[in-house]
Chain A
């Protein structure tokens, strides 16, 4: 209980540098508990709730010169490719960007989507995943999500490259 309380203390977050150093020193012999059992006492639930959000687009095309076609986008009933799988806990949060960046598993996620798509739909030869930047205005009458048409974190995979990889 004492170890948990000390580990839980947000000394670093509130800028108490001496307390944070003492906390780190105290925790050294017990670090294995957190590392081996993957537990912590730092809990966060939507600490940031600003208007800067993202919406994932999954697109595919038939060849290098063909136009991209939308396969999946959240809240788009016309484009629901792999929706059942993708929406299971947002694949346990793996494809959902954090406040500042995509998560470490994002590239593995794109590779997985491409593998499944190429296996199930032979017509597609290239696939890309990207995040549309949103500027949310909840009270806006036309589009509260504030879609900007600007994209970040684009990752692309091709059938040929995947076939060549081990």
Chain B
């Protein structure tokens, strides 16, 4: 029993460079900032988050209990603006890594108030990114690529080069569960053989979600059936991806097939999200999800990818 407990503690006490967590912090911050600024540039801050009749925020009048922000500030359009401004400023600070933890906590609290005011306008991706930011607040995500790290170096107290890895593991598990949960909730036969794997064709013919008119669907119908099967396999395969990642990291004779499975799953998943981004109008969903995806990489893999992406590496490679 004792070795098991020791292994469990050692697992959660692992340390690693903070680059992956910092990248997720920046990507999630940029995605949410674009979303909040997009709402404002479309003139929708009051429409989405103010109490009726000014907006859709029926929670400001009907929620039990009434959201704290409404009790303190009133059910007026000003409240929507105050909350939007606070959330946007907090996101900006969080993204650049200035007062990162405070900014993250403020954003999570304000975002929850906005969700309470407009429950219908708080989608799954908003909930997920709220969870992600809450976990990042507890992590070493500001130990690099941040104003906080720069300030700490300037005052002679540099951030540690290694930070706890458990927040990345937790985010990893969160994504795996999210995909698997989305898979097991697919109750419609259209997602399986009894419905002819017709789900994606149905969804892409729905004028509320499709980016284009449905005229092109018939021509690629078999391809969409394959894509439906791939989507369900990807979601149901999330636990297998978790296992494959663990085996690939451990080494041994299962490492090679595990690596193949891992990269196949990542490739199918990336195609799934990019396909959604191109063919459907689901707002920030595909971008918000991909913003968290770096947690699937070990910091060493990210380092290798970044090194390969540098123009100098390309030049030296092409000279060989």
Contact = CB atoms under 8 A, between A and B. Distances in A.
A134 B224 CA distance: 20
Nearest to B65: A35
B181 A10 contact: yes
A61 interface: no
A104 B224 CA distance: 33
Contact of A88 (B39, B120, B178, B204): B39
A24 interface: no
Contacts of B215: 144
Contacts, number: 186
A104 B184 CA distance: 26
A115 B58 CA distance: 16
B124 A43 contact: yes
Interface stretch (A63-71, A105-113, A121-129, A148-156): A105-113
Nearest to B62: A104
Given A105-B120, A138-B221, A75 B202 contact: no
Contacts of B181: 8, 10, 41-44
Interface residues of A, number: 57
A132 to B, nearest CB: 9
Contacts of B188: 47-50
A55 B207 CA distance: 6
B69 to A, nearest CB: 12
Given A93-B120, A93-B121, A144-B214, A51 B202 contact: yes
B210 interface: yes
A94 B120 contact: yes
Interface in B22-45: 35, 38-39, 42-44
A67 B178 CA distance: 48
A7 to B, nearest CB: 11
Contacts of B128: 43
A152 B93 CA distance: 46
Nearest to B127: A39
Interface of A: 1, 8, 10, 13, 36-51, 53-56, 73-75, 84-85, 87-94, 96, 103-105, 108-109, 111-112, 115-116, 134, 136, 138-141, 144-145, 162, 165
Closest 5 CB pairs of A and B: A89-B283, A49-B199, A92-B121, A138-B201, A38-B115
Interface of B: 35, 38-39, 42-44, 47-48, 52-58, 108, 111-112, 115-116, 118-124, 126-128, 130-131, 134, 170, 173, 177-178, 181-182, 184-188, 190-191, 195, 198-208, 210, 212-215, 217-218, 221, 224, 281-284
